[in-house]
Amino acid sequence: MKKKVVLLGDSIRILGYGPKLPEMLGEDYEVWQPEENCRFVKHTLRMLFDFKDQIKDADIIHWNNGLWDVCDLFEDGILFSTDEEYVENMLRVAKLLQKITPNLIFATTTPVKEDYPYNANLDIARRNEMLVPILKDMGFKINDLYSIAIQDLDKYICEDKLHPSEAGAEAYAEKVYEMIKSFS
């Protein structure tokens, strides 16, 4: 019987690991992921209602949110959520996912190139540090994609300074694959 894997996440999933995983996992896995970008956590929280039929019988869920939540588009502060709102809504999503399966993976928010104008790696790292210990305590496995990319931003982040390069997409996909296979 095939294991059902659900991938939830923002454009790091869409442009990075998401397209690669079905082939990497092979015939023993069914992979479902939304065609759309899950954006910021409040959007993901809302979309869980729309996705309920597709995710209800998942064996494994891999999830990320964060880049949208920490962006500052107008140079007047983080746009979509304060630190407290971010953690509160991420925990709401986490608790809903726990009702579906105990096999949960959270991917840390990935860094951006230092001169990207709308996100700051200090904010990204701070949010990862706030959330990861709580999710670990809740039983989530942590897929630390941040640590992969921060080693070499020029190698792992593309020219738009935000999304994974081909090397980044490959590295993320390999790490997601390993995390999913760890439940086998």
The fold for domain 3-181 equals Rossmann fold (3.40.50)
pLDDT of residue 81: 87
pLDDT of residue 31: 98
pLDDT of residue 75: 87
pLDDT of residue 37: 86
**If phi over 0 gives left and psi between -120 and 50 gives alpha, with beta otherwise, what is residue 66?**
left
List pLDDT tens digits, range 47-88. 999 999 999 999 999 999 999 999 999 988 887 889 999 999
pLDDT of residue 63: 97
Residue pair 47/38 in contact by the 8 Å Cβ criterion: yes
Residue ranges in the chain whose pLDDT is less than 50: none
Q: Phi first, then psi: what are they for 126, rounded to 5°? A: -60, -45
The beta strand positions in the chain, using DSSP E, are 3-8, 29-32, 60-63, 104-107, 141-143
Q: Is the dihedral of CA 25, 45, 117, 108 positive or negative?
A: negative
pLDDT of residue 101: 98
**Tell me, what amino acid is at 6?**
V
Task: Give, to the nearest 10 degrees, the angle between helix 121-137 and helix 83-98.
Answer: 40
pLDDT of residue 78: 84
